[in-house]
Chain A
Amino acid sequence: QKEVEQDPGPLSVPEGAIVSLNCTYSNSAFQYFMWYRQYSRKGPELLMYTYSSGNKEDGRFTAQVDKSSKYISLFIRDSQPSDSATYLCAMKETSGSRLTFGEGTQLTVNP
């Protein structure tokens, strides 16, 4: 069983829709929870991160962490065609610098 599970999609939504992306994990030592965005044929870039449990909002993006359920989510409001990309969740323990990635969800927002 993988430490981090992520539905690979693909996910296709109309412009303006609310998008929900999710990951589950099994390692209770994970304390940092990240979402990376990767455009086609490019390297990933950090979109948001959350330390421990709770919510974090940045513009149209909201990240949620539920450590009791070992479940994290990324919500995108008013989705735009420019949001079309692969979204990767990643997690890290407090010590060390290794990240464990989910396999990524491919999102297409149709105009």
Chain B
Amino acid sequence: DGGITQSPKYLFRKEGQNVTLSCEQNLNHDAMYWYRQDPGQGLRLIYYSQIVNDFQKGDIAEGYSVSREKKESFPLTVTSAQKNPTAFYLCASSVPGLAGHEQYFGPGTRLTVT
């Protein structure tokens, strides 16, 4: 089955700890994205990558970091510098450019930091 997997589904961390969220896709898509979803805020773009070894900041990149060493993988690290890390995190992928309107989303990871 082709698709995007995110793990784990639920993640709990103590304040001050870094945490890495996994995102893997086997759709052979070049572009990958990380969004954060909060109630009343819709989806906000954290980082995106249009090709391996390259990525750009989105609208709310502060306190987050990413890497794109392989086409299939785009892990997101939530650092201790992120002031409000508790949220639902969604990873997506697409064909870049003109066809990029269709983004395929993973099932999401719900992160709770206490």
Contacts and interface: CB of A to CB of B under 8 A. Distances in A.
B29 to A, nearest CB: 10
B45 interface: yes
A3 to B, nearest CB: 10
Interface string B1-42: 000100000000000000000000000000100010000111
A97 B48 contact: yes
A55 to B, nearest CB: 17
B40 to A, nearest CB: 6
B105 A45 contact: yes
Contact of B43 (A88, A92, A95, A96): A88
B42 A6 contact: yes
A101 B40 CA distance: 12
13 contacts: A42-B107, A43-B107, A44-B90, A44-B105, A46-B102, A46-B104, A49-B102, A90-B101, A97-B48, A97-B50, A98-B48, A98-B100, A101-B35
Nearest 6 CB-CB pairings of A with B: A97-B100, A43-B105, A103-B42, A32-B101, A101-B43, A101-B42
Given A43-B4, A45-B105, A88-B42, 4 more contacts: A6-B42, A43-B90, A46-B103, A97-B97
